Structure 1
Amino acid sequence: MRKRAYLAIMLLNIAADILLPALVLVALTPTGLPTAVRLAIGGTLLTGKAVAGRVETGVFRWRFGILVAALATTAIVGCYLAGFGAVPSMVAGAITSGVLVIGDLLLDRSRPTLDGFALLVLVEVALGVVLTSISGDARFVLARTSLYMAVGGVYMLVSAFTTNPLMRTALKPVAANGDPARAEAFDRTWEKSRQFRAIYRGLTAGFGVVLLIDAVLRIVIIYGQPADAVTKTSFTSQIPLIVMVALWFVIGRGLVVPRARRILDAEMEVSSR
């Protein structure tokens, strides 16, 4: 049950990342705000969720996430209502997010080093500041997600060849299923088995490839539609990612992960003798 709950939370987390900006875009339609501004607000909510941490770990700083999202959204809406225009307002929101993220990284004494996930968030926030200042065109604002996906994809591919691939960290609790002895066996197996390491490296690299392919397809879909169809495109542009993530999950869950489980089970048997 614990394993299923962990996987369910992971999938819901991915679903939120995919759909949140589009849902915010639709929900804010009655406000009369420009499409680009509404998309930017959706992006600030996603940034707040990202800087709060990974939901499935149970260490999710929801207060800080809400703070980042609320202040960045306030900056966007406040500047726009003050007459600064769409682009300056979106830049103000992006800078607000960036200042809060950098401040958190500098002041968080519990974080001895800049971990990979925090670095990824920081890079994407900085990229958001730069991209937001380029254009207020709604399609461009929507398409900038492709660059975030590309950065995430590159990060995944690089992570796959490190000593701690992202999927090793993300899926270890699933493999351990709440058993400390099994968690220790997971680490021993990682050190001993090249095949075990290759499985988790492959899962990490595979997800990176999914993100890179999506980055390309997303731009093709967005700019293949009329400029006035951004609301519809905000949903249709998500379809390739949904399909590819589902395929990655099915292949991993059905074919790849069982091999890793058998290797881990063998290590558990050896250690129990």
Structure 2
Amino acid sequence: MTKNTGIQNFRPLLLDVAVPLGSYYLFKDAFGMSTFASLAWSSVVPAVRTVGSLVRERKTNALAGLILVVNVVSLLLSFVSGDPRLMLAKDSGVSSVIALGILASVWLGKPMMTAGMKPFLVKGDAAKEAAWQRLVSGVSVRSAAFRSKEKAFSVVWGLVLLAECSARVVGAYTLPVDTMVWLGSVFLVGAMVIGFVVSGGLAVGPMERMLAAEVADGAAQQAAGRPAVAVAA
């Protein structure tokens, strides 16, 4: 079950990378469409997937909603412009707006990336869920450190996406269009790898250890017949 959950969590990323890239070459090489038309049609799939996920989940998701709005607007603007390079650069617009949204959420005290990280740490375990709630509510002596790492996780991803945005913009207007079609995906994968490595070491690892310690303290408190509130080590 854990493996399947992991696959499901990475599925949107695989679809966002593999489907647009593969459909671009299919439209361009197999069907002989122009570069602009191929880029336009290959951009439809991610937009449709985002709308479909919102309809299926029937709940508000800040990050998914942000991606949806930016994708739709940038796609319409790209059709109006008729410029293949702008079609490529619009992906950087998606990354930059999402990145700014993530950083703004940190500033507002509601880190947007927490929703994606929490399932990996809690794993559906009731004790971990209870420990998580104590940590984020401020009743634990570890709460301040935990919230700090939670914010750091989102900050890392916000900065990584901004860097990926800059690389896409430069590449879109300095490299051949065909080169940027596949290189843009390399930029995205590279950014994701960097994001996972840096955020893992800086935030996820320490948060996982604090969560485990909180679970242990909660179990000890319950065994002693006291409320599950962490005590200082």
TM-score, normalization by structure 2: 0.81
Match of residue 153 from structure 1: 99
Q: Pick from 71, 78, 90 the counterpart of residue 144 of structure 1.
A: 90
Cα deviation per residue 1:205-260 (whole Å; 9 max; x = unaligned)?
1111111111111011121123xxx2332011222332221022123334532211
Q: CA offsets, 1:167-213, max 9 Å, x none?
A: 22111111111212211211211122111111121111111111111
State whether structure 2 residue 5 is matched by structure 1 residue 6: yes
- Work out the CA distance in 1 between the residues paired with 2:154 and 2:216: 27
| 1:102 corresponds to | none
Code of the residue aligned with 1:198 in structure 2: it is S
Please state how far the C-alpha of 1:135 moved relative to its aligned partner. 1.3
1:253 corresponds to 2:203: no
Residue of 163, 171, 176 corresponding to 1:221:
171
Q: In structure 2, which of residues 110, 114, 122 is the aligned counterpart of residue 176 of structure 1?
A: 122
Q: How does 1:23-102 map to 2 (within 5 A)?
A: 23-29=22-28, 30-53=30-53, 61=56
Question: Following the alignment from structure 1 to structure 2, what is the Cα–Cα distance between the partners of residues 119 and 250?
Answer: 26
Aligned: 1:166 with 2:119: no
Deviation at 1:155, TM superposition (A): 1.0
- What secondary structure sits across from 2:108 in the alignment? coil
Aligned length: 215
Runs of 4+ in 1 over 6 A off after TM superposition: none
Structure 2 unaligned spans of 5+: 222-233
CA distance in 2, matches of 1:122, 1:258: 31
Q: Any idea what the Cα deviations from partners look like across 1:127-177, whole Å, max 9, x if unmatched?
A: 225522441121221211111111111111112233432222111111111
Tell me the TM-score normalised to structure 1 length: 0.70
Compared CA separation, residues 232 and 239, structure 1 to 2 (3 A): same
**1:244 corresponds to 2:191:** yes
Q: Which runs of 5+ in 1 are unaligned?
A: 55-59, 63-109
